[in-house]
Amino acid sequence: MTHTNMPAIYKSRLHEMTQTTPTCLWNDSASVRELAYSIEHGAVGATCNPVIVAGMLKKEFTLWKDRIQELIAENATETEDQIGWRLVREISKKSAALLKQQADAHGVTVDAWVQALAREKARIDEVHSGRQKAQAAAARILEIQKRVKPDPDGLTVRDYIDHGRP
């Protein structure tokens, strides 16, 4: 039987980057929708802090308005800062639940899953050391850039994520 090299099929350029480079992508958004997209396309983790949550709330306030009002009612004696931190923790837990699903699918804890991914990326990184690594990365970036065309409507990646465009 003859084995032929089939070209890899990637879901997106983001997915291609996470699969073909020694990059561990961490999603820097509190949006569960954006994190789910990032995980589907190769993200291995997420970050969250009050600034990230504030940015997300500007875009997704209607999704959180009722919960914020509940937090205020449930914790009437707390300051705005304390309630804000409760919200940050709650949003972080929702994101962590998505990452836990990925770890569970591999039968390991989240920590073990992230460590395994980091070891794999480190192994890939060792293969391309020093100058060879930099040259390979530059060549790969140039190859990807050749296929990237400006959006005819001037939309950015963020616009596509925020507005659900394919």
Torsion of CA 37, 42, 46, 51, to 10 degrees: -60
Rounded to whole angstroms, the Cα distance separating 42 from 120 reads 13
pLDDT at 1: 46
pLDDT at 127: 57
Cβ proximity of 19 and 10 under 8 Å: yes
Cβ proximity of 101 and 113 under 8 Å: no
Name the DSSP class of 42.
Answer: T
Average pLDDT over residues 29-43: 88
Average pLDDT over residues 49-70: 91
Q: What integer best gives the mean pLDDT of the chain?
A: 79
Distances (CA, A) of 147 to 4, 13, 136: 24, 10, 17
Cβ proximity of 70 and 46 under 8 Å: no
The model's pTM is 0.61
- Span 95-149, pLDDT tens digits: 888 888 888 888 888 778 777 777 777 666 665 555 566 677 777 777 766 666 6
